[in-house]
Amino acid sequence: MTKDGFVQAATPHSLIALADLPDGAVRSAEGEVDGIPEPLIVVREGGTVRAFLNVCPHAGRRLDWSPGNFLIDQGRLVCAAHGATFERMSGHCVAGPCRGDSLREVPVVQADGWVVLSKSAVVADGA
Ligand code: FES
């Protein structure tokens, strides 16, 4: 992990080493989604890993208060801008100004000890 909180990837589509994503962790990463570099949130619970765009459905702001530093309340992810509260593993907003919306999930797979963007995330529809 770099000192600004971002993760250096092993390949262009690798987001984070599983060793740097302990059970219960929320980390930031960057990846190319549909051909566009995007800030991402990567979460883990046991053997399950998910990733979401780091873009709040309320006003399009990043959720972290500084790069890689997220507010967590009772296991839920809280947007630092206006307090929308999301279930960590589903990305569903359960409280705040965008209640009922969800973070956009980005498909990932685990490969060789890394969390990697799946091919469907990297290639835009129709490409
Ligand atoms: S931008 Fe996230 S709650 Fe407003």
How many angstroms separate the alpha carbon of residue 91 from the centre of ligand 1?
A: 14
pTM of the predicted protein model: 0.88
Query: CA dist 113 to 6, 60, 67, 79, 88, Å?
Result: 18, 31, 24, 29, 22
Residue 81: predicted pLDDT = 98
- Residue 9 belongs to a domain: no
**Mapping DSSP to helix (H, G, I), strand (E, B) and coil, where does residue 121 land?**
helix
| pLDDT single digits (tens) 68-102 | 999 999 999 999 999 999 999 999 999 999 999 99
Q: How many domains does the chain have?
A: 1
Q: Is residue 6 pLDDT above 80, yes or no? A: no
Strand, coil or helix: what is 20? Answer: helix
End-to-end CA distance of the chain: 32
Q: Are 18 and 29 in contact (CB under 8 A)?
A: no
In the reported structure, the alpha carbon of residue 67 is separated from the centroid of ligand 1 by a whole-number distance in angstroms of 16
Alpha-carbon distance of 61 to 56, in angstroms, equals: 5
Q: Are strands 26-33 and 36-45 parallel, antiparallel or unpaired?
A: antiparallel
Give the model confidence (pLDDT) of 34-55 as tens digits: 889 999 999 999 999 999 999 9
Provide the residue range defining the domain that includes 114. Answer: 14-118
Q: Any idea what the CATH number is for the domain that residue 22 is in?
A: 2.102.10.10
Position 119 confidence tier, pLDDT thresholds 50, 70, 90 = confident
Q: Is residue 20 part of a domain?
A: yes
pLDDT > 90 in the chain, percent: 81
Residue 16 has pLDDT above 90, yes or no: yes
How far out from the chain centre does Cα 110 lie? Answer: 15
Residues touching ligand 1 (Cβ under 6 Å) are 56, 58-59, 61, 79, 81-84, 96-97
Q: Going by CA atoms, what residue is nearest to atom 1 of ligand 1?
A: 59
Q: How sure is the predictor about 10, in pLDDT bands with cuts at 50, 70 and 90?
A: low
